[in-house]
């Protein structure tokens, strides 16, 4: 069973998800150390995608 292609694919996918989760869990600690978003993305080898979130009060009178 462990030699099957499907098993190996699922195992690799699980490892990748675990690695990403670990990186994402590191973000608050790196931010607390004063690193910028760009520095954190570079240190963790993550793509930097920033979406602008509209202000809650924007457009309200």
Assess if residue 12 is contained within a domain.
yes
pLDDT tens sequence across 10-47: 999 999 999 999 999 999 999 999 999 899 999 999 88
Assess if residue 61 is contained within a domain.
no
| pLDDT reported for residue 48 | 78
Q: What is the pTM of this model?
A: 0.63
Alpha carbon of 60 to those of 22, 34, 51, 53, 54: distances in Å? 39, 34, 21, 15, 12
Domain that holds residue 5: 1-44
Number of domains present in the structure of the chain? 1
Assess if residue 23 is contained within a domain.
yes
Assess if residue 58 is contained within a domain.
no
Assess if residue 51 is contained within a domain.
no
Structure tokens at 61: 């009178």
| Spatial CA neighbour of 46 closest among 54, 55, 38 | 38
Average pLDDT of 54-61? Answer: 53
């Amino acid at each position: 069973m462990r030699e099957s292609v499907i098993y190996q694919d699922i195992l690799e996918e699980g490892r990748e998800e675990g690695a990403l989760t670990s990186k994402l869990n590191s973000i608050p600690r790196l931010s607390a150390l004063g690193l910028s978003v760009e520095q954190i993305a570079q240190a963790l080898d993550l793509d930097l995608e920033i979406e602008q979130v509209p202000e809650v009060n924007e457009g309200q009178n």
